[in-house]
Amino acid sequence: MKKIIVPIDFSEQSENALKVAVSLAKKHDSEVLALHMLELNQAMISSEGGMHPEQTVFFLKLAEKRFNAFLSKDYLKDVKLTPIIKHFKVFSEVNEVASENKADLIIMGSHGTDGLKEIFVGSNAEKVVRNADIPVLVIKKEHVDFKIDNFVFACDFKEESLVAYKKAKDFADMLKAKLELVFINTPGDDFLSTSDAYKRINTFLRKGGIGAEVKIYNDYSVEKGILNYSDNSGADIIGIPTHGRKGLSHFFMGSIGEDIANHSNVPVVTFRI
Computed over every residue of the chain, the mean pLDDT equals 83
Whether the per-residue pLDDT at 51 is higher than 90: the answer is no
pLDDT attached to residue 164? 93
pLDDT in tens, 68-126: 888 889 899 889 999 998 876 666 688 889 999 999 999 988 765 554 444 444 445 56
pTM of the model: 0.86
**Measured between alpha carbons, how far is 181 from 204 in angstroms, rounded to an integer?**
12
Which value, to the nearest 10 degrees, does the dihedral of the CA atoms of residues 138, 232, 154, 222 take? -90
Strand partners, 4: 32, 105
In the chain, what are the domain boundaries?
Answer: 3-139, 150-272
Residue 166's Cα: distance from chain center in Å?
A: 16
User: Is the CB of residue 120 less than 8 Å from the CB of residue 24?
Assistant: no
Helices (H), 132-246: 162-175, 194-208, 222-233
Three-state SS at 22: helix
Q: Closest by alpha carbon to 62, among 97, 38, 34? A: 38
**Measured between alpha carbons, how far is 269 from 108 in angstroms, rounded to an integer?**
10
Query: Are 3-139 and 150-272 the same fold in CATH?
Result: yes
pLDDT attached to residue 11? 84
Q: Does the 3-139 domain belong in CATH 3.40.50.620?
A: yes
| CB half-sphere exposure, 85, CA atoms < 13 A | 16
pLDDT attached to residue 128? 73
Which value, to the nearest 10 degrees, does the dihedral of the CA atoms of residues 199, 204, 210, 216 take? -60
**Measured between alpha carbons, how far is 96 from 92 in angstroms, rounded to an integer?**
7
Please state which architecture CATH assigns to domain 150-272: 3-Layer(aba) Sandwich (3.40)
pLDDT in tens, 136-176: 998 888 988 899 999 999 999 999 999 999 999 999 999 99
